[in-house]
């Protein structure tokens, strides 16, 4: 019987294909490269953060150097990366999905979300937030932050179509303490669609949204542009829904 050489066979048993998206995403994250979303694709963090910051990013406003690139900012980032290793406590972590959002006039958009952790036994979504002085913030009722509650509720809306979810947990951690909050389940379908509708309208018409001042402003890469723009009265209520 004639032996067929697998290396020269006219029907090879393997073929080269593209690098899997998950591997590319991992490499981008570790090298500091972030995926750029077009106007019809948003991340959950883009929806819940200051709408003016999202507007600047979507319209290609040039970012500037901020406190986030100083020694304090670099240490904050390093601390966050270190504490984020807590997500390895669960075998289900860094889960990502794309959620289709139906807009007016038969238009649609895509919302991208990623879970830090999921406990399949208790059907719990866990989202980790690294910060400073956790116990002090709890004492002064500074956490959980409303935008973080909104974020995990958006995750519930997106991921409950894929996996069973019965609990939402927000975990706040610093270098010495961990505090966990249980967040009530709430469907944010209407909020998500409305938020994207408003952002899309502002982007199409060049309307700079009202700034939402908070503790993250000092890390924002659009501080100068934001300060020169002013608050723009009359726009704020459109986003507070």
For 201-240, write each residue's pLDDT tens digit: 999 899 999 888 877 787 788 888 888 887 654 444 466 6
Question: Rounded mean pLDDT of the chain?
Answer: 82
Under DSSP, the state recorded for 188 is -
More confident residue, 89 or 187: 187
Quote the tokens at residue 92. 């289900």
Q: Give mean pLDDT, residues 157-180.
A: 94
Neighbours of 155 (CB within 10 A): 24
Question: Whose structure tokens read 């709408």?
Answer: 51
165 Cβ contact partners less than 8 Å away, ≥ 6 residues apart: 123, 124, 125, 156, 159, 185
Q: Give mean pLDDT, residues 157-162.
A: 95
211 neighbors 226 (Cβ within 8 angstroms): yes
Quote the tokens at residue 70. 């100083």
Instruction: Give the confidence band of 132 by pLDDT, cuts at 50, 70, 90.
Output: confident
130 neighbors 174 (Cβ within 8 angstroms): yes
Residue closest to 61 by CA, chosen among 214, 234, 182, 220:
220
3-state secondary structure of 175: coil
Residue 219 burial (CB < 10 Å; 0-12/13-18/19+)? middle
d(CA 183, CA 149): 7
pTM of the model: 0.75
pLDDT above 70 for 76: no
Q: In the prediction, which pLDDT does 130 show?
A: 87
pLDDT digits (tens, 9 = 90+) for 37-60: 455 899 999 999 999 999 999 898
Between the alpha carbon of residue 196 and those of residues 45, 59, 110, 118, 186, the distances in Å are 12, 15, 10, 26, 18
* Cis before 144? omega within 30: yes
């Amino acid at each position: 019987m004639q032996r067929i050489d697998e290396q020269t066979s006219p029907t090879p048993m393997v073929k080269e294909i593209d690098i899997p998206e998950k591997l590319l995403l991992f490499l981008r994250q570790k090298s500091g490269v972030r995926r750029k979303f077009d106007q019809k694709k948003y991340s959950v963090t883009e929806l819940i953060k200051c709408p003016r910051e999202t507007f600047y990013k979507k319209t290609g406003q040039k970012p500037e150097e901020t406190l986030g690139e100083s020694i304090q900012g670099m240490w904050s980032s390093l601390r966050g990366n270190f504490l984020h290793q807590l997500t390895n406590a669960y075998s289900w972590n860094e889960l990502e999905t794309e959620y289709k959002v139906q807009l007016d006039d038969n238009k649609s958009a895509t919302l991208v979300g990623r879970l830090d952790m999921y406990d399949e036994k208790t059907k719990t979504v866990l989202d980790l937030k690294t910060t400073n002085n956790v116990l002090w913030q709890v004492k002064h009722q500074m956490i959980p932050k409303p935008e973080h509650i909104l974020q995990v509720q958006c995750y519930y809306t997106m991921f409950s179509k894929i996996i069973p979810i019965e609990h939402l947990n927000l975990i706040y951690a610093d270098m010495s303490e961990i505090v966990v909050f249980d967040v009530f389940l709430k469907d944010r379908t209407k909020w998500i669609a409305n938020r994207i509708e408003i952002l899309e309208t502002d982007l199409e018409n060049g309307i700079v949204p009202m700034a939402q001042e908070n503790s993250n402003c000092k890390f924002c890469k659009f501080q100068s542009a934001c300060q020169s723009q002013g608050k723009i009265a009359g726009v704020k209520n459109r986003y507070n829904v």
